[in-house]
Each structure stands twice: as structure tokens, then as C-alpha cells.
């Protein structure tokens, strides 16, 4: 497992609170497609299964997951570097 690196600065951030799967991944994917390799995307979700599904799908597409962590009682962040 990768160590959490919450200090990495994100180049883009999207708030997907209220979204469920598969739209959490669909919207994350649409966001990262617009970015350059090496850039970092930070995704905020509140749907717990997305904290497993989004990182897995992001990795399958060749990106690296830098961090998945709980921000507060409801929200999680998923930090991904575009491959």
C-alpha cells in the first residue's frame, strides 16, 4: 500500500458528494482525461463504496492512487496522479 501523502498539491479538485457508483468513477475519469500526465486530481466523495471502486478503476486505467483517506464523519478524499 502507498503511504498517504495528503500534502501533495492537487492540480484539480472535484466534489462528488451525493454521487454514487458508477458515476463517482465516471466523473473522476472525465475529469482526469482533461489533465496532463503527472498532474494530480483530488476527488471528494461521501459514498463509502466509491473509496474502493474509484481507486481500483483509476489504477486499472494506468493512474496511481496517492491517497485515500477520511476527511471527517462523512467525506473521503481520493488523490490520484494521472499516468
Partner 1 sequence: MLDFTEEEIKRYSRHIILKEVGGRGQKKLRESSALVVGLGGLGSPVALYLAAAGIGTLGVLDNDVVELSNLQRQILHGTSDIGRQKTDSAENRIRALNPGVKVTKHCARLDKNNVERTIRDYDVIIDGVDNFAARYLLNDACFFGNKPLVEAGVLQFLGQIMTIVPGKGPCYRCVFPEPPPPGSVPSCQEAGILGAVAGVLGVLQATEAIKLILGIGKPLVGRMIIYEALSGSFREVGFRPNPKCPLCGEKPSITELVEYPVACEEQRQDAVT
| Closest to partner 1 by CB, 51 or 63 | 63
- Residues 5 and 24: their CA atoms lie apart, in Å, by 22
Q: Which of 21, 26, 35, 44 is catalytic?
A: 21
Number of other CB atoms surrounding residue 5 within 10 Å: 12
| Closest to partner 1 by CB, 4 or 65 | 65
Residue 73 grid cell: 464523519
H or E element at residue 68: strand 64-70
Shortest reach from residue 23's CB to partner 1, in Å: 7
What are the residues binding partner 1 (CB under 8 A)?
14, 22-23, 25-27, 29-31, 33-34, 57, 60-61
Strand partners, 33: none
59 phi and psi angles, rounded to 5 deg:
-65, -40
| Closest to partner 1 by CB, 25 or 76 | 25
Q: Is 21 a catalytic residue?
A: yes
- Residues with active-site annotation: 21
Amino acid at each position: 500500500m502507498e503511504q498517504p501523502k495528503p500534502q501533495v498539491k492537487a492540480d484539480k479538485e472535484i466534489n462528488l458528494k451525493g454521487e454514487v457508483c458508477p458515476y463517482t468513477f465516471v466523473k473522476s475519469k472525465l475529469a482526469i482525461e482533461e489533465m496532463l500526465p503527472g498532474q494530480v486530481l483530488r476527488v471528494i466523495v461521501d459514498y463509502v463504496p466509491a473509496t474502493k471502486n474509484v481507486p481500483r478503476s483509476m489504477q486499472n486505467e494506468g493512474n496511481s492512487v496517492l491517497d485515500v483517506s477520511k476527511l471527517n464523519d462523512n467525506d473521503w478524499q481520493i488523490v490520484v496522479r494521472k499516468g
